[in-house]
A = this chain, B = another copy of it.
Amino acid sequence: MAMKDKITQQSILLFQEKGFNQTSIQDIVRAIEVTKGTFYYYFSSKEQLLMDIHDDYITHLLSRQERIISKTNMTQKEKLTEIIRLLIMDIADKGPSARVFFREVRHLTDENIETISQKREKFRLHIEKIVQEGINQGELRKELRADMISFGILGVTNWSYNWYKPDGEVSAEELIKIYSDMILTGIAT
């Protein structure tokens, strides 16, 4: 297990730095000082490794999202804030994984792309549902299209993997506040 994890962690670092294609198996195993044989003992292919990384990321995200959704004592606006926190925090804390997740989907097999896409779509639909619920309950403006708003929210948050630097002058907590404020003001009644 230790070795499999070591390979995965090193791969994430290299993938985010140089890209999936530009990183060779050789690069990965050299970095942790084992040989190619070892890699293939743990992973059936390079794509398999990438799939593992993707599935871990989205699965973890989804499970935490579901925990938020099931909180019955939260308003929809609070839930949206929590989801924004979830996404920003991941980008801040697990930047490399996030970047690999957002950038390298294309290198999965068609079948695996499908699997990951479905989970990502599920994540988005959860947001859409919360927005719709918010509309229904009068927390959010009636005329909104819940689907488009969900895309908008994901845009604001996810885009930050492109530029956000955790050690910059804005802390993750501040960014969460800025974005949830902007978004909620933008859609609240």
Interface residues of A (CB under 8 A from B): 19, 21-22, 103, 106-107, 144-145, 148-149, 151-152, 154-160, 163, 170, 175, 178-179, 181-187
Contact = CB atoms under 8 A, between A and B. Distances in A.
A5 B170 CA distance: 44
A183 B155 CA distance: 12
State how many copies of this chain the complex holds: 4
A175 B170 CA distance: 30
A19 B158 CA distance: 21
- The SS class assigned to the A binding surface is helix
A72 to B, nearest CB: 27
Contacts of A148: 170, 175, 178-179
Contacts of A160: 151, 155
16 contacts: A19-B21, A19-B106, A21-B22, A103-B106, A144-B178, A144-B182, A149-B178, A151-B160, A152-B156, A152-B179, A155-B157, A155-B158, A158-B159, A159-B159, A182-B183, A182-B187
